[in-house]
Structure 1
Amino acid sequence: MTTESTTTDRAPASSSDVDEGGELLALDDVTVHFPIKSGVVFDRTVGHVYAVDGVSLRVNRGETYGLVGESGCGKTTLGRALLRLIEPSGGRITFDGDDLSALKGESLRRTRKRMQMVFQDPLSSLDPRQSVESLLIEGMRAHGLDTDRESTRQRLVELLDAVGLPRTALRKYPHEFSGGQRQRIGIARALALRPDLIVADEPVSALDVSVQAQVLNLLEELQEEFGLTYVVIAHDLAVVRHISDRIGVMYLGALVEEADADALYAEPRHPYTKALLSAVPVPDPTVEDTREQILLTGDLPSPSDPPSGCRFHTRCPWRQETLCDTDRPELRDLGDGHRVACHYAEDILAGRLSPRSSDPASAPS
């Protein structure tokens, strides 16, 4: 992503410039490639890690977009890139009508105020030396929102009320809270700047199962109250299904399937999505014993040396050598916004193509 000829310090578009419910965030062919260095003296680039490699998606105002995939698929890197915490290598990211790569200085700072992140581990993301009051005021002060002491105090109380924490929490420190309470503090810190978009990176994976539902329900309540838009990153399909309107499935740096949450769970169309869902336990023993089980063999390929053609073909039970090994499939719409990157999605769905019980290409080396 270049900035030499397009940088500008113009003011970003306001929320009123975009229709309510319209597009808020757009990614077009976004890539994030990390160089692999070798040599002590010359520090040569000998390759790249293709963490994100050509992702395009849209997120509408007020919706929750779930991003799911195995560890190492690039979903966290993508989440950080869309906030420009990591600079993309290529492509275009548009937020509320503004090209993020074209923003700098004050205009970038104002836009970043409207895009906040909730991190996976609330303890490591909170400075243990700061009280909750200091943690919440920090961002407000950086953006000039703490000019009046009384209104700032009122804002802090409102934030604690919103996330379900007592007002006495202001004088305490992160280690004095449980994991769920610390995540509520992290959410309150994100809300302090009144953002439009929150990227939540594995927001409940570090929490006990009994607490996860409480935090997810809180996120939904806050979305309704403040009109928030979410991008929720998770590896747990149950978490994504609970909270998302639409879901994108990533594999090895690329988006392989995208659909409304109900449609994706009812009828997954990419072999990788089918495998992920087949591994999720079903509470009904009768259904669990009779449903299709898809076991993936082999390891996830290295993002520094991705396979040619379809990146999933080395583990795909439906692999066809004539096409899958050589041509990378496009992410195409099969109807109703259900996008799939698979050459044989229609044949698999119609049962015209059966999975192989054993595929040499999938066998571990």
Structure 2
Amino acid sequence: MSLVEVDDLKVHFPIRQGVFFDRTIGHVYAVDGVSLSIERGETYGLVGESGCGKSTLGRAMLRLVEPTAGTTTVDGTDLGSLAAEPLRRFRRRLQMIFQDPLSSLDPRQSVEALLTEGMRAHDLATDKAATARRLRELLDAVGLGANALRKYPHEFSGGQRQRIGIARALALDPDVIIADEPVSALDVSVQAQVINLLDDLQREFGLTYLVIAHDLAVVRHISDRIGVMYLGGVVEETTSEQLYREPLHPYTKALLSAIPVPDPVTEDSREQILLTGDLPSPSAPPPGCRFHTRCPWRQETRCAEERPELVEFAPGHRVACHYAKEIAAGEIVPHVVPVQDSVSSA
């Protein structure tokens, strides 16, 4: 059994109107039927463009946002079945690294207070000497010195603040860490350092990661498996190596074609897929396949009427596309011919 099991998870936010906002006129389908599993010690990368529901999914898995339907099971425990106090105790095993360390760290608290807050909440800071030793170990693990304890978040650079956020997540010795865009707010020169740090910490502490990002180039180097999200659902899932070697879903193909290649000769010769149209609103998703309004390979009748399920195309490779096999074999050609030297809207 996988360490983390997500089954048909949905998060629908009501759209309210009226003087007292007491009338529901619709819903935002932020997450709409996601199922995935994460093995112990694995890094699962979740990618997709902004607004596809990645961050909402991560928060719903921890019940920071209450799911509308579906279940999240961690090591055999259904989080949705837990009352407030058992859930609080269980959350010691599940921690989160947030996207913007400047806004997720309380500016009025010192680093020492930030790191010990969770430890005190779970009765792990009862011994002063042991707590001091644990704080030094945490700061050493993330590459910061003990002199950081008395400082405040504004006294650090963006990369250092993210290291403090990582240390805070490690403080409770969790099994699973959900990293929500852990490097997107950092300079490119610092991103590789943080990614390497997460990789080193996983080996040292036996961590299991869900890494949420919109940059496929980032998750490629840290993820064992990757799930691609579009408009509230997972459209493709496979190993990192397989996804880059043989993407099957048209949306994945478009995302990968938008990644710049440092070799000018290769960049000029490769095909880039130009998506047409705008990203549909999650409050009014298209019927049928939700990508069909922008898909160059769409077949009008079936794609516009029937939503494809995420099914296994090959061992360990799942895809939600009615015509994945035909597209892979070249039996269906795109309506819009892939163009050279263009920038994909993905």
Matches of 2:74 and 2:38 in 1, distance apart? 10
Shift in Å at residue 42 of structure 1? 6.4
Question: How far is the alpha carbon of 1:25 from its aligned partner?
Answer: 0.4
Aligned with 2:93 (options 105, 108, 114): 114
Match of residue 106 from structure 2: 127
Per-residue CA deviations over 1:176-216 (Å, capped at 9, x if unaligned) read 10100000000000000000000000000000000000000
1:57 aligns with 2:30: no
Q: 1:214 to 1:42 in 2, by over 3 A?
A: closer
Distance 2:137 2:158 in 1: 21
Task: Give the counterpart of 1:83 among 49, 53, 62.
Answer: 62
Shift of 1:92: 1.1
Q: Corresponding residue for 1:92? A: 71
Q: Which moved more, 1:235-244 or 1:41-50?
A: 41-50
Partner of 1:7: none
Aligned pair partner of 2:122 in 115, 119, 143: 143
Q: CA deviation at 1:106?
A: 3.4
Equivalent in the alignment of 2:341: none
Match of residue 196 from structure 2 = 217
Unaligned runs of 5+ in 2: 338-344
Please say which of residues 31-40 and 281-290 is displaced more in the overlay. Answer: 281-290
Uncovered stretches (5+) of structure 1, i.e. residues with no partner? 1-21, 359-363
1:305 alignment counterpart: 284
Correspondence 1:255 to 2:228? no
SS in structure 2 at match of 1:277:
helix
1:278 aligned onto 2:257: yes
- Name the residue aligned to 1:36: 15
Query: 2 CA distance for matches of 1:244 and 1:308?
Result: 32
The 1-side partners of 2:15 and 2:167 are apart by: 38
1:290 corresponds to = 269
In 2, Cα distance between equivalents of 1:28 and 1:135 = 34
RMSD: 1.3
2:304 aligned with 1:325, yes or no? Answer: yes
Q: In structure 2, what is the Cα distance between the partners aligned to 1:348 and 1:157?
A: 54
Distance 1:42 1:264 in 2: 44
The aligned counterpart of 1:194 is: 173
Q: Deviations over 1:106-155 (max 9, x none)?
A: 32122101000000000110011110001000010011100100000000
> 1:166 deviation in Å?
0.6
Match of 2:161 in 1: 182
* TM-score normalised by structure 1 residue count: 0.91
State the match for 1:104 in structure 2.
Answer: 83
Change (3 A) 1:39 1:346: same
Q: Where do residues 341-360 of structure 1 align in structure 2 (5 Å cutoff)?
A: 341-357=320-336
* Partner Cα separation in structure 1 for residue 62 and residue 176 of structure 2: 10
- Separation (CA, whole Å) in 1 of partners of 2:84 and 2:8: 25
More divergent stretch after superposition (333-342 vs 284-293): 284-293
Task: Specify the alignment match of 1:240 in structure 2.
Answer: 219
Look up the equivalent residue of 1:343 and give its one-letter code. H
| Cα displacement (A) at 1:41 | 4.3
Q: Distance in 2 between matches of 1:335 and 1:106?
A: 43
Instruction: Tell me how far apart the structure 1 counterparts of residues 89 and 201 of structure 2 sit (CA, whole Å).
Output: 22
Q: 1:163: which partner in 2?
A: 142
Number of equivalent positions: 339
Q: Give the partner amino acid of 1:335.
A: A
Name the structure 2 match of 1:8: none
Q: Give the letter for the 1:278 counterpart.
A: S
| TM-score of the two chains, using structure 2 as the length reference | 0.96
Partners in 2 of 1:102 and 1:91 — Cα distance?
11
Which runs of at least 4 in structure 1 moved beyond 6 Å after TM superposition? none
